[in-house]
A and B are shown apart, each in its own frame.
Chain A
Amino acid sequence: MRILNRDLVCRQAVALVTDYLDDVLPRRQRRRFEAHLRNCPNCSRYLEQIRLTIDTVGHVEPDELDPEIKDDLIDLYRRFHED
């Protein structure tokens, strides 16, 4: 995403959050983004909330595997190697 004017507006900063977190912003763009954050509590808060969102999503409990399904698959494995 190319942004030409010198100072980012909030909408532009928010659009760069994922690129920033993945560390793929070109250096100048990154500096602009960080400069915007220093002066903008709203966008800083937004970034922080995206981080919290990622953290929360990462803690979603995995589904439980039905032991019967597991046994069936192991049967499948045995049958495959018997042939």
Chain B
Amino acid sequence: MVERLRKKDEGAFATLVERHHMPMVRLALTFVASRSVAEEVVQDTWLGVIGGIDQFEERSSLQTWIYRILVNRARKTGVRERRTVAVDDITEADRFSPDGSWSRPPREWTDDVVDRLFATAVAKRLRTAIDELPPTQCQVVTLRDVERLSAREVCEILGISEANQRVLLHRGRSQLRRTIEFEIEGG
């Protein structure tokens, strides 16, 4: 793919756009205030990719390189001011008794329930829940669990430590588990 891009292969660029454009817009949205600014940042990133492909040293994957350009540009563009829902620092803090055992343990998800997880309604709710996570959690969950990148790649893209990455992932995932729980148990 990198070779084809260097040879100015338009088809290779089109494939790249198809694969990454929309996920990049989503990622950009976690940094900037509006959809239109996010779209601009992504377009600007594509220009950086087209113009910079000869300088790409292939020390990371092409996707990681592109996403890093995106994150750098998005950060320069400005911090978003979207309000986010506060999340407890200790995961599931309200579910334990003072001695550290479960006071409200998770209830079993029956096969029936598990089948419903993949139904449209739950998927839609989950999409919204991912977007509503605090931005840094949203970034890590999206890159790790939606795009299925490795911890190392995610750290490289976001410029964060592995430990920090795991804390954010942990909080994000537990919040999403609760979303599903709420959805299937009706609160």
Query: Which positions in A face B, CB cutoff 8 Å?
Result: 9-12, 14-15, 17-19, 22, 24, 42-43, 45-46, 49-50, 52-54, 56-65, 69-70, 73-74, 76-78, 80-81
Q: Are B102 and A10 in contact (CB under 8 A)?
A: yes
Q: Are B100 and A12 in contact (CB under 8 A)?
A: yes
The size of the chain B interface, using a CB distance under 8 A, is 51
Nearest A residue (CB) for B166: A18
Query: Which residues of B, 27-66, contact A by the 8 Å Cβ criterion?
Result: 43, 46-47, 50-51
Nearest B residue (CB) for A42: B105
Most buried by B among A59, A69, A73, A78: A73
Query: Which positions in B face A, CB cutoff 8 Å?
Result: 8, 10, 13-14, 17-18, 21-23, 25-26, 43, 46-47, 50-51, 90-92, 96, 99-102, 105-106, 108-109, 114, 117-118, 122-123, 126-127, 130, 141, 145-146, 148, 151, 162, 166, 169-170, 173-174, 176-177, 180-181
CA distance A2 to B101 in the complex (A): 18
Q: Are B22 and A64 in contact (CB under 8 A)?
A: yes
Contacts A14-B91, A74-B14 known; A60 to B126 CB distance under 8 Å? Answer: yes
Contacts A53-B177, A76-B43 known; A70 to B21 CB distance under 8 Å? Answer: yes
Minimum distance in angstroms from A32 CB to a CB of chain B: 14
- B13 partner, pick from A45, A56, A77, beta carbons under 8 A: A77
Q: Are A17 and B170 in contact (CB under 8 A)?
A: yes
- A74 partner, pick from B10, B43, B100, B127, beta carbons under 8 A: B10
Q: Are B101 and A10 in contact (CB under 8 A)?
A: yes
Q: Are B173 and A53 in contact (CB under 8 A)?
A: yes
Contacts A42-B105, A60-B126 known; A50 to B174 CB distance under 8 Å? Answer: yes
Minimum distance in angstroms from A66 CB to a CB of chain B: 9
Contacts of B176 in A (CB 8 A): 53, 57
- B47 partner, pick from A57, A61, A80, A81, beta carbons under 8 A: A80
Q: Are B127 and A62 in contact (CB under 8 A)?
A: no
Contacts of B106 in A (CB 8 A): 42, 45-46, 49
